[in-house]
Structure formats: structure tokens, C-alpha cells
């Protein structure tokens, strides 16, 4: 089974995947980042599908052309499962069709609470006492896909968004690789991904 990991940043969650034995066949990024360097250092093929070639982060960004290019870039690696790990580009319907119900994402909250890009800050602003992380099947609707696993992270008095984010990442680095390995086992045995995997 081959996993493609999509990254945009430091790649620490991807490092955890490699350490846990996730069969990462390729790492792809939407911008130059440390994640690509980590992949190459680990002997994993690294692909830069740069947003700057498709309009960057402006209103001119051609999402459809970008997602087509990303799909083509992954083709040689016979990808069974796509794992988003801090990937900063929302993919379109054609990418979801290419990997139907086989794209996973991790989100820094206990979905359905605190969807969106500012989940950690939103939890603090709401004075929540707990948050956590959720591994789910990615869909076109942001943070709406079926939940595979969750883990709770308590919120402490005086927490900052940065400190809380790091504590959530510590949990993600364990939960996400475990969930991916279980998902791969299900795919290998032609079982549906949706259902309780753990948490």
C-alpha cells in the first residue's frame, strides 16, 4: 500500500508517520518547505507542485489547473491513500474523484466543534475546557468528512494559541499515523474506511 503525504510546512507530522512505519511513497508540497527536505533525507521521493506556477496566493490562483497538476504528479507512485499533513491548499472535486474517499486529514479540534483555519484560537476564545484533534475523511466540504478517530487535549488556564497548538500536534503525531495504518489495513482487505478506528 502506498501513501502520498501532502505538506506545506515543517513536516513534523510526516516525520511521525515515517517513524511509525507508514509506507510513504511520495511527499508533495504546494510551496518550498522543510517537509520536502525531510522526505529527501529519509529517502522518500519529494515533489514540489508549486502554487506560484498557478497564480500563487492571489485571486488569480487557478485551483483546477493546480489540482490537475498535483494529480498527475502523484500518478507514478500508485497511491492508495492520500494523507494531508498541514497542506495549505484546498483541493477541488477532480482531485477528490481521483482518490474518492481515500483522502485523510487531521484537524486541531474535536469536530464538529471549531471548524476552519483558526480552530485553536476559536477554542480559546470560546473558553472551552477541552479540545483535541480529529482524523477524518476529507470531503469537498471543509472539515465535514466522516470522523475516523479523535483524541482529547485539555485546555489549561493561561494557554496561548501557540502552546495549545503544539500540545495538539503532540497528540496528532501519535493518532494520525495509527489511524492511517488502520485505514490501510482496511483498504487492503476491501473494507470501508468509515467507522470507529480508535481514539
Domains 1-100 and 105-199 share a fold: yes
Q: Which fold does the domain 105-199 belong to in CATH?
A: Rossmann fold (3.40.50)
- The catalytic residue among 96, 107, 136, 156 is 107
Known catalytic membership, residue 156: no
Cα distance between residue 19 and residue 66, in whole Å = 30
- Write down the pTM of the prediction: 0.94
C-alpha cell at 9: 510546512
What digits encode the pLDDT tens for the residues 52-99? Answer: 999 999 999 999 999 999 999 999 999 999 999 999 999 999 999 999
Cα distance between residue 52 and residue 57, in whole Å = 7
pLDDT category, 195, cuts 50, 70, 90? Answer: low
Cα distance between residue 168 and residue 162, in whole Å = 10
What digits encode the pLDDT tens for the residues 103-121? Answer: 999 999 999 999 999 999 9
Phi–psi pair at 135, nearest 5 degrees: -105, 125
Q: Write the burial class of residue 171 (CB in 10 Å: 0-12 exposed, 13-18 middle, 19+ buried).
A: middle
For the chain, the residue count is 199
Cα-to-chain-centroid distance, residue 141: 15
Each domain of the chain, given as residue ranges in start order, spans 1-100, 105-199
Check whether domain 1-100 has CATH 3.40.50.300, yes or no: no
Amino acid at each position: 500500500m502506498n501513501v502520498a503525504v501532502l505538506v506545506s510546512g515543517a513536516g513534523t507530522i510526516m516525520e511521525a508517520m515515517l517513524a511509525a512505519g507508514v509506507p510513504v511513497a511520495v511527499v508533495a508540497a504546494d510551496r518550498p518547505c522543510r517537509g520536502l527536505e525531510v522526505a529527501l533525507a529519509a529517502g522518500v521521493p519529494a515533489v514540489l507542485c508549486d502554487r506560484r506556477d498557478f497564480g500563487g496566493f492571489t485571486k488569480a490562483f487557478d485551483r483546477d489547473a493546480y489540482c490537475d497538476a498535483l494529480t498527475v504528479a502523484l500518478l507514478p507512485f500508485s497511491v492508495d491513500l492520500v494523507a494531508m499533513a498541514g497542506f495549505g491548499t484546498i483541493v477541488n472535486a477532480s482531485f477528490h474523484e481521483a482518490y474518492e474517499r481515500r483522502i485523510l486529514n487531521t484537524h486541531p479540534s474535536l469536530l464538529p466543534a471549531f471548524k476552519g483555519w483558526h480552530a485553536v484560537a476559536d477554542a480559546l476564545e470560546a473558553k472551552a475546557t477541552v479540545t483535541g484533534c480529529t482524523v477524518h475523511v476529507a470531503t469537498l466540504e471543509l472539515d465535514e468528512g466522516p470522523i475516523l478517530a479523535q483524541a482529547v487535549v485539555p485546555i489549561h488556564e493561561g494557554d496561548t494559541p501557540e502552546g495549545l497548538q503544539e500540545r495538539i500536534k503532540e497528540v496528532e503525531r501519535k493518532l494520525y499515523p495509527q489511524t492511517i495504518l488502520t485505514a490501510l489495513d482496511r483498504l487492503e482487505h476491501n473494507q470501508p474506511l468509515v467507522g470507529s478506528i480508535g481514539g
